[in-house]
Amino acid sequence: MAHIHLATELLEDILTEAGEDLILETADMSERYLILTAVIAALEGITVAGGYSTDVAYVSETLKLKHPEELDKNKFPACFPIDADEVKEQMTIGDEYNLLATLGVVITSMVFDPHGRTAEARSELIRDVERAMVNNVALNALLLMPPQPTKVETDKGFFGNYSVFSQEFELQYVYNHATGG
Identify the pLDDT of residue 70.
Answer: 83
Give the best-scoring range by mean pLDDT among 66-80, 84-98, 131-145: 131-145
Long-range contacts of 20-25, Cβ-Cβ distance < 8 Å, separation of 24 or more: none
What pTM, to 2 d.p., does this model score?
Answer: 0.80
Ordered DSSP codes for 157-169: TTTTTEEEEEEEE
Cα–Cα nearest to 77, from 134, 118, 36, 18 = 118
Cβ distance 61 to 35 under 8 Å? no
5 pLDDT higher than 50? no
The C-alpha atoms of residue 131 and residue 150 are separated, in whole angstroms, by 14
Domains and CATH numbers, the chain: 2-64+72-176 (3.30.70.1700)
148-154 own/partner pairs: CB under 8 Å, 24+ apart? 148/172, 152/126, 154/122
1 has pLDDT over 50: no
The more confidently predicted of residues 162 and 24 is 162
pLDDT of 12 reads: 52
Displacement of CA 119 from its chain's centroid (Å): 22
The string of pLDDT tens digits covering residues 34-90 is 999 999 999 999 999 999 999 999 999 987 877 888 888 899 999 999 999 989 887
Top pLDDT among 24 and 178 is at 178
